[in-house]
Amino acid sequence: MVKQNERTLVNFGRPVPKFLVLTAGTIAMICLVIGLVSTLGSNSFGLAGLFLFSIFGLAFFLWTNLTQWKRIAVGESNRNLSWEIDLPESQRRKLSGEVGNLARILEIPAEQISDLLSAYIVAEDLALRQIQQEARMPVMRHIQIGGVPFDGVLVKQDIITCVEVTFLVTPNVSQEKINVILNKMTATKKNFDQLKLGARTRLLLVLVTQLDPTAEAQLRASLVKKFGQTQVDVDIRLLDFESLQKIYALD
């Protein structure tokens, strides 16, 4: 069994309480309305216009903060959804399958498999670093949500982004692999629905490639076709392995 971590996903959303802001704003709104009524009763139309302008400004401020507060409230409701650290056996099983598939495509002999394994591990690590930099928030690596393993997870209030990383040497992602990933997202969404969580789930598919521009264009066209009809909220990110190494690994 995977050891249960006492922390929950909501702890990584870092919500900021806004109850005091909303309360103070509501009180200020009431005072402004009273002031507006009083000035209209005394025919002070210039002052009434000032009050009216202030009311509109405060209403906009409260609306934006209320929207933010609703997102925070959804994040707080996610306390029922805990995360678990993915066991090494599970990580090793996925890694072995990915590397084995690459070895067959590249026709790499058995004695060079270890080098390919090292390259894959580096590619995944650099890709998750890049995603973390772009998101400006930490990526939880190799965890399970409701028993479903993912390479990474990003939590931002009412949006939980599940990250899957794969390495490509050809301009094609097999339909079998796509089905596996989409089934994982479907299972995760089902868990959310059963727990009555308000958060939205989103898939971020990160493809680390070593392709020329022509092959990359073919890959993009293929991805649009394969993911065009899915009900899952998907964002696909293509990252060049050589560029990642220049950013994070090479001087």
- Confidence (pTM): 0.70
Among the three residues 34, 55, 79, which one is the final residue of a domain in this structure?
A: 79
Let me know whether 67 and 123 are in one domain: no
Token pair recorded at residue 165:
């990383």
Residues 68 and 152 occupy one common structural domain: no
Q: Which amino acid, one-letter code, is at 202?
A: R
Question: Looking at the structure, do residues 73 and 93 belong to the same domain, yes or no?
Answer: no
Q: Are 58 and 109 in contact (CB under 8 A)?
A: no
The helix/strand/coil state of 57 is: helix
Same domain, 102 and 73: no
- 56: CB partners within 8 A, 6+ apart: none
Identify the CA nearest to 163 among candidates 185, 178, 180.
185
Q: Are residues 120 and 195 in the same domain?
A: yes
Distances in Å between the Cα of 57 and the Cα atoms of 15, 21, 32, 53, 63 are 25, 15, 11, 6, 10
Two structure tokens written together for 121:
């591990």
Residue pointed to by tokens 């909501």: 10
User: Which of 48, 64, 79 is the C-terminal boundary of a domain?
Assistant: 79
Looking at residue 56, its pLDDT comes to: 73
Which CATH number belongs to the domain containing residue 160 in this structure? 3.40.91
d(CA 232, CA 163): 13
pLDDT at 82 (0 to 100):
66
Half-sphere exposure (Cβ direction) of 38: Cα atoms closer than 13 Å: 9
- pLDDT for 4 equals 43
Domain range holding 227?
A: 83-248
Instruction: Decide if 3 is inside a domain.
Output: no
155 plus 193 within the same structural domain: yes
Give the Cα separation of 39 and 58 in Å (integer): 18
Number of independent structural domains in the chain:
2
3-state SS, residue 234? strand
Q: Which of 29, 52, 79 is the last residue of a domain?
A: 79
Whether 15 is covered by a domain: the verdict is: yes
State residue 198's pLDDT score: 67
Quick one: tokens of 46? 């210039």
pLDDT of residue 142: 94
Considering only CA atoms, which of 86, 202, 214, 106 is closest in space to residue 146? 86
Return the number of other C-beta atoms located less than 10 Å from residue 60's C-beta. Answer: 10
Amino acid (one-letter) located at 77: S
My answer on whether 108 and 219 are in the same domain is: yes
Q: Divide the 251 residues of the chain into consecutive groups of 10 and give the mean pLDDT of each group.
A: 44 51 69 71 68 69 63 51 84 94 91 93 96 93 90 86 94 90 89 72 94 93 87 92 90 65
What is the per-residue pLDDT for 213? 92
pLDDT at 15: 46
Residue 175, both tokens: 């339909």
Q: Do 115 and 32 sit in the same domain of this protein?
A: no
Task: Check whether residue 36 and residue 60 sit in a common domain.
Answer: yes
* Structure confidence at residue 193 (pLDDT): 76
Structure tokens at 48: 């009434």
Q: What is the C-alpha to C-alpha distance for residues 33 and 39, in angstroms, rounded to an integer?
A: 10
> Does residue 41 share a domain with residue 87?
no
pLDDT at 54 (0 to 100): 73
Residues 87, 2 contacting (CB under 8 angstroms): yes
Query: 3-class DSSP state for residue 84?
Result: strand
